[in-house]
Structure 1
């Protein structure tokens, strides 16, 4: 792997380049955006109040896919584990990795119209929660397994999955449209192909499966959180469609902005790795359950997605230079969107210490700030300000980004 590409496949690059664009915005040099740092304290008040409301004891779990599997007070993963009766902690961890990887990759925005009616509970779910429960139901039914019944994901099965099969599992159709369905199915097929092509990573202790990366990460003692992300970026990078590459290395969720100036081929490149970092956060708990010690969680950054980004826009911490831009749709690579996502990462770092101060806590990782407050306040403000509860900026999605 080229050293230049390697640097962009790190959380440090995400933080560094996002902070660079934030500094430009503070100086009035980020086209399309204005920053109002004086609004940050009031924003921190909102986030701290949300955390105290949701978690009165301040025992906040990590921001991870596992939270969505318990929507409506039903612990679906615990129920699945009890039925599966995995033969060892490692076997359970591989299955948990399978589920988390699949479910996170399927977690791009569903759109305002889509709904999922859960069999058994009668719950009708939307957005991230609906996508989570739908993916878990398919996983539990063996939809991703080669034998068609086991709760696992086999690379060979994923490589053959179709849009029609995914539509059935997600109850999607003309009357229940799910944004980016074809993109989601294609992403799973590429995941299967990548896992099949790298048995040294994905088949170290079992047949090729996404969860096989557990054995790679668990090979040592302590597991640094940044190592989880870097492994995901290196080994899953080829699954992302039509994205930037450097010297033949796929860069994944990395986009161009003219505000990033360098004297090498990385000029203009801004990495975010949103889904990969969301996935890295989501793999912490399965690693811990298998007896691994995960360290350095704050090396990962906040997530450059529309709930956190919407929080800062709706709370007045940032503002569009042209308010009419909120009425138009924008491509993910539009500098306006890239700038918004960079501001989101930097502002999450800026608001986190203010939130800790209000809570009277020093040991409160960013992963807990995200889960306890920023994501939820972003969603609440969106519901208050827009009838469909959607983001304040409209992004054209192919089902693989947000």
Structure 2
């Protein structure tokens, strides 16, 4: 595989994410990892924790999919109903475009906020992912991401390209006493999104709206494949990520080097994750379904390799650091232990999911991976981090606001 575009296409599949992550897990189980050991005897205990928390959160096991829309429901507020009301009499397609606009911007802002930031809504302070969701929601309603004052409930290229640090800081209530990790990185990411939207009118329309994905996908036909949607996002948006991970002149996005991964031709040594893009794909499923679109193939998406899911595995002892002092080091996303931790997380989530289902007495059709994550692994990882370290992840990651 010697053509950069062909190599990138291989790495833009969840098959590549899964198979290459599984290779790292096999290697770690064989004792060949420099960074981690795997304790398979701890997997049942991790499954017990996830199943117990899932039962507590969803006693009837009617579990919604892992999605940004769960965070929009934080505090018991039906913000979707509020947005429906504000959109008034627009048709189904425009309603879907607006919800896709909101989802894309909110997900791209959803990297680690840090322990000191929060957003206050009606006297209630929300932090971390929930806080970022509520903040981006209000920013969207206020027209922060629209260049048309008469049409605030949209996101367009012109507004994103003109976004300033001060404007986003104001929307997110950031100040000297309420600092947000990676604010500058988030602004740069949204500006690059604006460039990508403007440069692809065939996908995003003349105004350059993320909601153009509704028209450019097969949504108008009534059926969308989740993996096709992910690939469309990766093709159109991989250029926005700040990492210089490239094959030739083709940007790879959330795809990192690990020499143990292998692979044919130019794909050798690359481990793809596409975490935020997959999180975005999960989060677009509901707006599409609300528009009457059938979304198929959701099971092709992987577990999300971020510090809540990965932290769960370390905190339950499924994964162990070979050198405990590594927990005191500050790591960058490109560092090998972080790349490997993320790969092991993807592979182990696939093994953890059926154990959780068995404890809950359900199957994959009733409890797909998206619901295991929501039930689930993400919440259990957060609970363990809160209990053990006041919410901090077990590995310290230097964040620019675009990966974690």
1:210 alignment partner, SS class: coil
Q: How do 1:2-401 and structure 2 match up within 5 A?
A: 2-118=5-121, 121-148=122-149, 150-203=152-205, 207-217=207-217, 218-362=219-363, 363=365, 364-387=367-390, 389-401=391-403
- Say if 2:222 and 2:292, in contact at 8 Å, map to a contact too: no
Measured on the aligned residues, the alpha-carbon RMSD in Å equals: 1.1
C-alpha displacement of 1:243 = 2.8
Cα deviation code 1:265-289 (max 9, x no counterpart): 2111100000000000000001111
2:265 alignment partner, SS class: coil
C-alpha displacement of 1:262 = 3.0
Cα deviation code 1:171-209 (max 9, x no counterpart): 112211101100000111111111011000001xx6321
- Say if 1:86 and 1:92, in contact at 8 Å, map to a contact too: no
Query: Deviation above 3 Å: which 4+ runs of structure 1?
Result: none
Aligned length: 397
Cα deviation code 1:268-316 (max 9, x no counterpart): 1100000000000000001111111111111000000000000000011
Quick one: distance in 1 between partners of 2:214 and 2:14? 20
Quick one: distance in 1 between partners of 2:264 and 2:101? 40
| Structure-1-length-normalised TM-score | 0.97
Quick one: distance in 2 between partners of 1:171 and 1:202? 30
Quick one: distance in 1 between partners of 2:12 and 2:267? 12
C-alpha displacement of 1:357 = 1.0
Quick one: distance in 2 between partners of 1:78 and 1:29? 52
- Say if 2:263 and 2:269, in contact at 8 Å, map to a contact too: yes
Quick one: distance in 2 between partners of 1:176 and 1:380? 23
Cα deviation code 1:93-143 (max 9, x no counterpart): 10111000000000010001111111xx31101100000000000000111
Q: 1:244 to 1:86 in 2, by over 3 A?
A: farther
1:223 alignment partner, SS class: strand
C-alpha displacement of 1:222 = 2.1
Quick one: distance in 1 between partners of 2:124 and 2:79? 13
Cα deviation code 1:333-356 (max 9, x no counterpart): 110000100011001000001111
Gaps of 5+ in 1: none
| Structure-2-length-normalised TM-score | 0.96
C-alpha displacement of 1:2 = 1.9
- Say if 1:191 and 1:210, in contact at 8 Å, map to a contact too: no
